[in-house]
């Protein structure tokens, strides 16, 4: 009889089953919950929107998926943004992100423009917001850090709103 057991194919193990068949309830709930997709949009997708994507992934990946894109691209992410995000959060945006066009995004639930003072092309979504942030490019570190902190606060507010399902 034991030779028959060896002939049976192995049953698939779900992602949330680990260590002797115990169920990781948090992983199961996350897998089952629909994750909203948030896009942070800026003209060049090289500074504010990149910071927002990185902080969204860092602070709210349990609640929503973060993306960034622009109407144009730059060959690299703003180097002051890269340096300060490494320094403050130990996030290396050059290893995890790149400048992208809006057309490269998946379907989006929430669109957040950074305040580029231009008309962004239409991007279908359930909700649209403008954070009205000044571009810190070319300014001193104090202004850059203030912008980063403002984005951090807004990401945390957005996280609460999405969790409460008001968005």
The pLDDT of residue 165: 82
Domain-embedded: residue 5: no
Q: Look up the pTM and report it.
A: 0.79
The pLDDT of residue 27: 52
The pLDDT of residue 33: 60
The pLDDT of residue 115: 86
Domain region containing 68: 39-163
Domain-embedded: residue 123: yes
The pLDDT of residue 132: 92
Please provide the DSSP assignment of the chain as one string.
-HHHHHHSPPPPPPTTEETTTEE-HHHHHHHHSPPEEEEEEESSSSSHHHHHHHHHHHHHTTTEEEEEEESS--SS--HHHHHHHHHHH---HHHH----BGGGS---SEEEE---SSPPPP---SEEEE--PPP-TTS-HHHHHHHHHHHHHHHHHHHHHHHTT--
Domain-embedded: residue 6: no
Domain-embedded: residue 86: yes
Q: What is the pLDDT of residues 25-56, one digit of tens each?
A: 455 445 446 899 999 999 899 999 999 999 99
Domain-embedded: residue 3: no
The pLDDT of residue 122: 72
- Give the CATH number of the domain where residue 142 resides: 3.40.50.2300
Q: Which residues of the chain have pLDDT under 50?
A: 1-21, 25, 28-29, 31-32
Number of separate domains in the chain: 1
Domain-embedded: residue 10: no
Domain-embedded: residue 7: no
């Amino acid at each position: 009889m034991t030779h028959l057991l060896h002939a049976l194919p192995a049953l698939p193990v779900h992602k949330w089953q680990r260590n002797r068949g115990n169920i990781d309830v948090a992983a199961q709930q996350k897998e089952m919950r629909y994750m909203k997709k948030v896009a942070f949009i800026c003209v060049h997708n090289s500074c504010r929107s990149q910071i927002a994507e990185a902080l969204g992934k860092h602070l709210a990946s349990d609640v929503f998926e973060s993306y960034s894109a622009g109407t144009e691209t730059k060959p690299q992410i703003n180097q002051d943004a890269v340096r300060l995000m490494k320094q403050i959060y130990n996030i290396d945006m050059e290893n995890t992100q790149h400048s992208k066009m809006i057309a490269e995004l998946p379907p989006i639930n929430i669109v957040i423009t950074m305040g580029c003072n231009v008309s962004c092309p239409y991007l279908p979504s359930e909700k649209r917001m403008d954070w009205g942030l000044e571009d810190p490019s070319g300014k001193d570190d104090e202004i850059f850090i203030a912008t980063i902190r403002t984005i951090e606060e807004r990401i945390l507010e957005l996280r609460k709103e999405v969790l409460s399902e008001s968005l």
